[in-house]
Amino acid sequence: MATTTATSAPRRQGGKEELRASLLKTYLLRIRAERGEPAVRELLARAGVDGSQVDNERGWLSSDTTKRALREIADILGEDGLRHRGSWAIHSEALGTHVRMLRVAKEPIDAYRYLAQNAKETTRVAHWELEELPAPNKSELEVRLTYRPRTDNIDELPDSLDGPGEDLLSAAREGDLASFPVIWGLAEARVTRETAPETPSDPTVYRVRWSPVAGSGITVKVPAPVLGASAGAAGLGVLVGAAAQAPLAGLAAALLGGGLGFGAGVVYRRLERERAERTFERNRIAALERGLELRGDLTSMQGDLTGAVLGGKYRIGRKLGSGGIGVVYAAEHTTLGHEVAVKVLRGAAARDGSEIARLRREAYIQVSIEHPNVVRVFDLDQMPDGSIYLVMERLVGRSLADKLSRENVIAPGFAVPVFVQVCRALYAAHKKNIVHRDLKPGNIFLCDDGSVKVLDFGMGKLTTAEALTQQGYTLGTPEYMAPEQCIGGAVEARTDLYAFGVLMYEALTGELPINSPNRRDLLDLHQRMIPAHMRMKRPDLPIPESLDAVIMRCLKKRVSERPKSALELEESLATVDVGGLPMSYPMGTGRRAPTKVVRSRPIDAPTESSIEAPPRVESDEE
């Protein structure tokens, strides 16, 4: 094969640098996981490849070196193993070559377009041509990609093709093409080779088909909502019509079932879209981290800051906690001496515009609220390496999530005053047209002085302004999301009150009102499941009936049926008589009632009164 190297640079062992090492990296990672590092070293030794050449997937190898390595890999994984990379395509050590592509791509088709426009990032001996084809069956996308060897130096092309080596190289290219949809959490694309080259200068044509991300705009032959409507209508209509022997009753049932099915289909499409965006975002951040690591920047950006002085005035102390994108440190103002907390974006997040925008938004929102029950922000600045940090008031205590993890359930005598303070923070935010959108126990902080602080307005939305539009962000935690939020509808102040209702229910009973191990089912259940009343869920605990009623009102599916404002909710909570109620429970109080479990029920009861009535208690042996 010809190379595009025009200079007379010294020839390296194994030939000129022509192909990215990423072509081999996923296979070597799989072999390492399945057979161990010695097997990889032995394979590379047989192929005459220095291990350091493939450690960095952004490095370059000659075509001959790549073919030798592929022969050894095919002996272990088989030629079909070259065509199917599976989840190894998104291994954190294999994403370094995708950094630029993932900055601009929003759908798998964008990845193929990027490949055609930027072929030189993966090969120096050929270029790609892309032809976007009509959807073959209106439920898939399809492209034709032509791999055309460059003929700039045609005299350097070999006289004939190395049959086995070229076939393996083609199989590896097929594996590369098939892997793009996996970045979005989709199944691998189906790749077929339409033409095989007969001479070294002949092109190779591949046809690629894949199922699109749900909700991406493609017109499917039978949309999911229509399938849901048809199935619901047919099933319910047949059952009712047969049971009642009344065609009109069957027709009415069919229409009702169709409506329910259509709604379920819409929700399914939204959930699938959301899942793809989350998966893509996770892989995009992993690629950014890998890119920084290969450049040698990640180590310096992730080092311990203890003892450092930021902005010439904040001396960093011990680490208080860390998450996927940030680290929180205790710090001291070097001049004034007061203690603060410093949140620092680390790693790829410090270079990522969306995360920086989110931190700036958090600072702006929390400064604008100015309320004693909202954590105060003092400063926002940038470190010399580009990392952004946020300076906040130092809180001493623990989160509600931590208290729940230790005590399982919170006594109402302690809980109600806490809930009242949260209401005050929410009301202050809502007056500024700010919706928190991620209220959960981890964002409620119980200070040792008895005060309560609401944290993390990074997901907050100004209801009169545009939200962050970075692809891949799905705002909210599923267990606490209101029905309108689950389906991507408009959020408002009462959206927070639903989440707060879930939080209060969990704190007082030890269990979420609605739960499922499956995210898709969980968001669907928030649309249709009426949770059991707290007093029925935990008859062993002294939960006042008035408190039960207030919290169950927050959990109404219709926004209009919830409290009108956080102020109204605060007033309702204030009417609960906490005199004589316990401030804490004995050690060992469990998260569930000792002998009974209450089932929640879907919203398919025949009358409104039956929906509002407490569900029956069913005995279950623990």
Residues 350 and 431 in one domain: no
Query: Does residue 61 have a pLDDT over 50?
Result: yes
> Which of 295, 321, 337 is the C-terminal boundary of a domain?
295
| 160 against 97, higher pLDDT | 97
Tokens of residue 18, six digits = 């022509």
How many independent structural domains does the chain possess? 4
Lowest mean pLDDT among 157-161, 163-167, 353-357: 157-161
Stretch 306-318: mean pLDDT: 86
* Residues near 401 by beta carbon (within 8 Å), at least 6 away in sequence: 440, 441, 442, 444
CATH number at residue 306: 3.30.200.20
Contact criterion met (CB below 8 Å) for 92 and 288: no
Which residues are catalytically annotated? 438
Residue 254 inside a domain? The answer is: yes
> Which of 337, 363, 393 is the C-terminal boundary of a domain?
393
**Spatial distance between the Cα atoms of 113 and 104, rounded to a whole number of angstroms:** 11
Residues 237 and 265 in one domain: yes
Contact criterion met (CB below 8 Å) for 419 and 430: no
Residue 5 inside a domain? The answer is: no
Residues 524 and 428 in one domain: yes
557: phi then psi, degrees, rounded to nearest 5? -70, -40
Residue 11 inside a domain? The answer is: no
Residues 337 and 404 in one domain: no
In 3D space, the residue among 68, 84, 71, 66 whose CA is nearest the CA of residue 30 turns out to be: 84
Helix residue ranges per DSSP H, 79-212: 79-83, 99-104, 108-117, 163-179
Residues 266 and 332 in one domain: no
Residue 540 inside a domain? The answer is: yes
| 24 against 619, higher pLDDT | 24
Residues 462 and 370 in one domain: no
307, with CB counted inside 10 A (0-12, 13-18, 19+), is: exposed
Residue 98 inside a domain? The answer is: yes
Residues 417 and 541 in one domain: yes
The pTM score is: 0.53
| 290 against 586, higher pLDDT | 586
Rg (the chain; Cα; Å): 30
Residues 114 and 201 in one domain: yes
Q: Which residue segment(s) compose the domain that 238 sits in?
A: 224-295
Residue 141 inside a domain? The answer is: yes
Per-residue pLDDT tens digits for 262-306: 666 666 667 777 777 778 878 887 777 677 666 554 444 445 788
Residue 216 inside a domain? The answer is: no
| 617 against 295, higher pLDDT | 295
* Residues near 4 by beta carbon (within 8 Å), at least 6 away in sequence: 124, 125, 150, 152, 153
Residue 470 inside a domain? The answer is: yes
Residues 566 and 478 in one domain: yes
Share of the chain above pLDDT 90, in %: 39
> Which of 177, 210, 243 is the C-terminal boundary of a domain?
210
